[in-house]
Structure 1
Amino acid sequence: MNPLVRTASLTKRYGDRVALDGVTLEVGAGESVGLLGPNGAGKTTLLSLIEGLRLPTSGEVRLFGGDPRDPGSRTRLGSTPQATALPDALRVGEVIDLVAAHYPSPSSRERIVAEFGLEDLVRRPCGALSGGQQRRVAVALAFVGDPALVLLDEPTTGLDVDGRRALWDAVRARHAAGCAIVVTSHHLEEIEQLAQRVVVIDHGVVRADDTLSAIVEGVSRRRVTLTGVDRTTAQSLDPEAVITAEGEQVTALVADADAFVRALVQAGAPFRDLAVRGASLEEAFLALTATPEGTR
């Protein structure tokens, strides 16, 4: 089966800055893919190239087997960009109808309202909505065309915890019905909730592309937490470790926990409350992106 999205050696430069550097990946039918990376890593640029909003400097991108700039290739695509401007004067229901008119077989207004919990908003002008309410509407609009693929760029920005979870439920339901999802997010929990596969991008390069569990296991790092030792001391014992501190607690993401603990003892460090466990997705992400460029 042909992939919905295929990129080959995709590169995008803005002057001297390389936003994407030789990205090759595929997204298949019904997949749920999370794009993870620091700010400026290239995630939004990648989505814009997939949508045909920008041209690559070199390389190739195909959407549903065609050129993403061809309107015919985008009829099965839905998207929510980071920033969405809704028409202030139109009511939410009217905007849903307006978007639906651009697709051959759209979802009904009633279905979208029910799926995304917009009953309290459907008759209100978009200009009267809060930022979080506008975001809920913007994500819902991505699904109006009954798409085979939806691109969501930071979909729950501005939403509270309850709002995020309600939106996750709606997106998961569409994915369960066969819609492929590609999502970027600063919330690692959001990636865990929505994505079965994770692509880590850093400095425009794909650092990892695998299932959530495989990425966490593949990092081969252990998380050591302790008190009584400052961050500088911990870093001096293992220069390759990723060290963070919160209050008195220091956390070291290390390749060899036994060697790190031995170094603590040999240095006579007055550590307390020592605990060692496997890495989380957040810590795997840090390990993949916090290493100085060129040593990965």
Structure 2
Amino acid sequence: MNSPIIQLEHINKQFKNKLAVSNLSLEIQPGSIVAILGPNGAGKTTTMKMLLGMSKPTSGKISVLGQSPNHQQVRQQIGVMLQDVSVIDGLTVREVIRMVHSYYRNPLPIDEIELLTGLSEIDLKRRAEKLSGGQKRSLNFALAMAGNPKLLFLDEPTVGMDSETRIHFWKQVRQLTQTGKTVLFTTHYLQEADEAADRIILFSEGRIIADGTPESLKSGLTKRILSFSAQHGMIPGESASPSDTQPDHNNANSPHIHIKAQIAMLPNVDQVEYRNGRWSLYTTDTDTLIRDVIQRQLPVRDIRIETGQLDDAYAELLATMKEEQ
């Protein structure tokens, strides 16, 4: 079995009267894509800086690639893309790439680095400071890969990227992990973590409050969603024209008013939403709710049970923590 590429043992980080990281222990295995999520002040950036050797823990032990984060061998085998977007003024993109390429003993070939930027030949010849914000981030990613690192640190990597560039970026990251590289990234985009990571670590107040695959975190939700479509004309005594597809909450005769009234009588329903022609009922007991819907002969079709989204899981975990304090 492979040794952990990152290992933290009982890490604490104190800033004057504030404990930014509290008794943090975790291991990250090679070849994985790991997302660290958390609100501002949760401790994720502090943890990242300690892993990079930019800050020392108050207590505890950190190992990166089997060494101290400050070890020269570690620095030659990691790539870093920080939040701040910066380039060297006065040089073309291609000149910047060649300069950074020269820093490493075993770098990627220059043409591969240029390909990672996703920039056109014209943009490669432009001065780096003339690039857009998203293009600069793409360049920073390519520069982080210049040394052909085993381990890649990405701090909010897609901020400022448009949707097309973001899709291209994560496609490249997934391809990198297929060659055995490991990626650790922080993000505020819950959907991005859900789609890109195979493991998510949720931080709050300097501690890990959840750690697992996106699927396992979402399956841990206490609330589920029972959704379905309802045909207006199927309700006894009601009819609706084919064009009546959206609820008219100001019309007491609207079929949606009667559907919602019947739904409101169902037990164990905490919240009701209507969106894009479907009703969504939030509940802690979908089995009982389905039986009630059938027994009451509600005019439903295309029933689905959903576990909710990652942001639901995160909000629920934070709410549980506050209740326990």
Tell me which interval the TM-score lies in, with the shorter structure as reference length.
0.7 to 0.9
Q: Look up the match of 1:222.
A: 224
SS at match of 1:290: helix
SS at match of 1:157: coil
Q: Look up the match of 2:6.
A: 5
- Report the alpha carbon displacement of residue 277 of structure 1 after superposing the two structures with TM: 3.2
1:136 corresponds to 2:165? no
Matches within 5 A, 1:92-171: 92-120=93-121, 121-171=123-173
Q: Look up the match of 1:23.
A: 24
- Report the alpha carbon displacement of residue 48 of structure 1 after superposing the two structures with TM: 0.7
Q: Look up the match of 1:204.
A: 206
- TM-score w.r.t. the length of structure 1 is 0.82
- Report the alpha carbon displacement of residue 219 of structure 1 after superposing the two structures with TM: 3.0
Aligned CA RMSD, in angstroms, stands at 3.1
- Tell me, in whole angstroms, the C-alpha distance in 1 between the residues paired with 2:184 and 2:92: 28
- Tell me, in whole angstroms, the C-alpha distance in 2 between the residues paired with 1:173 and 1:214: 24
Deviations along 1:88-127, one digit per CA (max 9) or x if unpaired, are 1122122222222222211112101123312342211111
State how many pairs are aligned: 277
Q: Look up the match of 2:192.
A: 190
Q: Look up the match of 2:44.
A: 43
Deviations along 1:231-287, one digit per CA (max 9) or x if unpaired, are xxxxxx99xx8x89999x9988664568999xxxxxxxxxxxx99632222211221
Q: Is the 8 Å Cα contact of residues 107 and 146 (structure 1) preserved in structure 2?
A: yes
Deviations along 1:62-94, one digit per CA (max 9) or x if unpaired, are 111111112222211001111132111122122
- Tell me, in whole angstroms, the C-alpha distance in 1 between the residues paired with 2:111 and 2:306: 48
- Tell me, in whole angstroms, the C-alpha distance in 1 between the residues paired with 2:144 and 2:135: 15
- TM-score w.r.t. the length of structure 2 is 0.75
Rg (Cα) greater in structure: 2
Q: Which amino acid aligns with 2:120?
A: E
SS at match of 2:10: strand
Q: Look up the match of 1:233.
A: none
Q: Which amino acid aligns with 1:119?
A: S
Q: Look up the match of 1:67.
A: 68
- Report the alpha carbon displacement of residue 145 of structure 1 after superposing the two structures with TM: 0.8
Q: Look up the match of 2:317.
A: 288
Shift in CA distance, 244/14, structure 1 to aligned 2, threshold 3 Å: farther
Structure 1 range deviating more: 160-169 or 187-196: 187-196
- Segments of structure 2 that go 5 or more residues without pairing to the other structure are 229-255, 261-267, 291-302
SS at match of 1:208: strand
Percent same amino acid at aligned positions?
Answer: 30
Shift in CA distance, 99/33, structure 1 to aligned 2, threshold 3 Å: same
Q: Which amino acid aligns with 2:58?
A: T
Deviations along 1:43-62, one digit per CA (max 9) or x if unpaired, are 11111110101111111111
- Tell me, in whole angstroms, the C-alpha distance in 2 between the residues paired with 1:246 and 1:45: 41
Q: Is the 8 Å Cα contact of residues 3 and 28 (structure 1) preserved in structure 2?
A: yes
Shift in CA distance, 251/295, structure 1 to aligned 2, threshold 3 Å: farther
Shift in CA distance, 244/283, structure 1 to aligned 2, threshold 3 Å: farther
Q: Which amino acid aligns with 1:59?
A: G
